[in-house]
Structure 1
Amino acid sequence: MTEEPRSEEQADEQLKDGRVVAIGGPVVDVEFPPGALPEINHAIEMTLTLDGNDIVITAEVAQQIGDSQVRAICLKPTDGLVRGTKVRNLGRGISVPVGDQVLGHAFNVLGEPLDVESIGEVKERWEIHRDPPPFDQLEP
């Protein structure tokens, strides 16, 4: 049985927003509506406003802890984050750019360049959690 392709609107309708229910350093517990839990290793985002600046905090779901809650690890500082903050389920894992344009550059875990402002147009991104290539496709 093959899945019918879904439009982006249909996909967005299934990705319900959650809210922060507990914060412990870089670890946050987030509650989602029933049936809308993000998968383990998927990314979620929170927007925090400090001094008039919006800061997007990306976290990765590490555990589903029951009662429609997940535990996630934040990849940026959580200073100023409060319970009740709205959380967006991105519906995918964290991805980083790949290809010739990344050669010679340093990146953080979110795929943001650390040594230059921009690396130009990114043609391809791969999720950081993915299956390894088949053995016969490995190069020595």
Structure 2
Amino acid sequence: AELGIYPAVDPLDSTSRIMDPNIIGAEHYNIARGVQKILQDYKSLQDIIAILGMDELSEEDKLTVSRARKIQRLLSQPFQVAEVFTGHAGKLVPLEETHHLPFTILPLFYKNPREKNKYER
């Protein structure tokens, strides 16, 4: 919430008992762990960014920052109940559209990390 990102859930501190490759499948599990790694790498870079700025990062680190920010925006769904906090109108994404996201998000970021996906604001 302090970042202005809602829902205020930290994917690095939040865990689930079903986050197990035997339950959700190896591919989904590996992608979820990949997303967590990008977010963790970004968190590790935040002090450097605060002190030296983005210009001092390597190109690889800049890509990590770009990917992490995209993931944060994707995970910050515009819920109707959060309109008061975010100023953004709530949106409903059909369930059938959300099922493929875990399987496409990371490959898209690695394929063309600077391109926006259709769920970004």
What is the TM-score when the length of structure 2 is the normalising length?
A: 0.27
Structure 1 length as normaliser, TM-score? Answer: 0.24
More strand, by proportion: 1
Bigger Rg over Cα: 1
